[in-house]
Amino acid sequence: MPAYLLRRVLLMIPTLIGIMLVSFVIIQFAPGGPVERVIAQVTGQGGDATSRISGGSGNDMANATQNRAASNDPVTSKYRGAQGLDPEFIKQLEKQFGFDKPPLERFGKMMWDYARFDFGRSYFRDIDVVDLILEKMPVSISLGLWMTLISYMISVPLGVAKAVRDGSRFDVWTSSVIVIGYAIPGFLFAILLIVLFAGGTFLDWFPLRGLTSDNWAQLSLWGKVVDYAWHMALPLSALAISAFATTTLLTKNSFLDEIRKQYVQTARMKGLTENQVLYRHVFRNAMLLLIAGFPGAFIGAFFSGALLIETIFSLDGLGLLGFESIVNRDYAVVFANLYIFSLLGLVVALISDLSYMWVDPRIDFETREV
């Protein structure tokens, strides 16, 4: 076991570097960037992106731009929209965002900082990247955790029932419902829920914004629980509509495989009831894949349509943060998000493998090739 763990941990390093390198190279060829965004701002073509540029406010930079343009001294620049801007201003922007260094040097510095968990500050928000991620994380954790738990609580009993009644009418119609639910995009179902139950056209039963009400602090403990569940009902329903299919069918197939094995026939011949055979012998072996896959399912819930759901229901979580950071070319937040969750995914993959051993001690990692 120690040798296996060491190999897996060591393999995480080149894997993580490879993920970051590929993303970094793609970004280099992508059109636009933080410098272009600031240029668009000071030339009146973009949004507020200059609040953190050192050496002056957005108005100061705009004035400098106008003075330079008035001098009729054109400047050739590699940036779109930079014609007529002061070269010192462009150099200042490049230094501010670190683009005054070669790409290889920038990548090396970024990875060295990230190895020490130093993620710097957001380009266009006056806040540390870590603090920004921690600020948005409760929303994503709430969605991911509850969606995973609800999915397992419904899918596992349903999958067992389908396995026991394999080929029956119950099995057929539940499979039809599951497949239809899996085929419905979560964001379309979210819009339908809003139209039906959130004041769209019919009923106005549920809120459309946030995880809690404005009077959250004044509510009792039970009132807070009810208020939280009230806000989470529609987003979780939209996320979970397609989450049942995989877990349910995997549970059913796992149970069917175990039920057909010889030890089950032997247990029946010894006079055990069907419930004893099912839950004392079959359940543990059949649930091996599902239990070991729980950590991965939880992490996967962070990314399964969370962006659109967070946007539709105005939930300020990590999905919305990542999207806004990409649109605004806030590469500090983009790469920090990528690094943290890539590392988290690799760790969770290792935990999932170790869960197999916890569920079934017969698994020997020492003899397993990575």
Question: Does some domain include residue 138?
Answer: yes
Q: Examine residue 367 and state whether it is found in any structural domain, yes or no.
A: no
Tokens of 194: 């809003």
Contact 129, 336 (CB under 8 A): yes
Q: 306: alpha, beta or left, given left = phi > 0 and alpha = psi -120 to 50?
A: alpha
- Residue identified by tokens 């410098």 is 35
d(CA 197, CA 202): 7
Q: Is residue 54, in this structure, part of any structural domain at all?
A: yes
Q: Are residues 162 and 299 in the same domain?
A: yes
The domain in which residue 93 lies consists of: 2-124
Residues 71 and 154 in one domain: no
Helices of type H across the chain: 2-29, 34-42, 58-70, 87-97, 103-115, 129-164, 169-183, 186-197, 221-240, 244-259, 262-269, 274-276, 283-286, 288-292, 294-300, 306-312, 318-327, 331-359
Q: Has residue 116 been placed in a domain?
A: yes
Q: Does residue 154 sit in the same domain as residue 210?
A: yes
Picking from 311, 327, 343, the residue at the C-terminal end of a domain is 327
Do 152 and 106 share a structural domain? no
Residue 313 domain flag: yes
Could you tell me the mean pLDDT of each successive run of 10 residues in the chain, 370 residues long?
Answer: 80 91 84 72 55 41 42 48 63 73 88 90 85 85 82 86 87 89 83 82 79 83 88 85 80 83 80 76 73 66 66 81 83 88 83 72 58
Same domain? For 104 and 191 the reply is: no
Comparing CA positions, the residue from 297, 320, 298, 316 lying closest to residue 307 is: 320
Co-location of 27 and 174 in the same domain: no
Query: Using an 8 Å Cβ cutoff, are 254 and 289 in contact?
Result: yes
Residue 88 lies in a domain: yes
Same domain assignment for residues 90 and 234? no
Coil, strand, or helix at residue 204?
strand
Contact 243, 144 (CB under 8 A): no
Q: Do residues 77 and 140 share a domain?
A: no
Residue tagged 């605004």 (tokens): 328
What is the Cα Rg of the chain in Å? 27
Residue whose token pair is 């970051």: 20
Contact between 117 and 289 under an 8 Å Cβ cutoff? The reply is no
Residue 169 phi, psi dihedral angles, 5° rounding: -60, -40
Indicate if 234 and 270 belong to the same structural domain: yes
- Predicted pLDDT of residue 367: 58
**Last residue within a domain, chosen from 70, 98, 124:** 124
* Global confidence as pTM: 0.70
Is 355 a domain residue? no
Judge if 68 and 211 occupy the same domain. no
| 117 shares its domain with 60 | yes
DSSP labels, 136-198:
HHHHHHHHHHHHHHHHHHHHHHHHHHHHHTTTSHHHHHHHHHHHHHHHS-HHHHHHHHHHHHB
CATH number at residue 171: 1.10.3720.10
Same domain, 91 and 215: no
In a domain, 206, yes or no: yes
Total structural domains within the chain: 2
Report the alpha-carbon distance of residue 205 to residue 193 in Å, rounded.
Answer: 10
Q: Which of 69, 10, 2, 15 is nearest to 42 (CA)?
A: 69
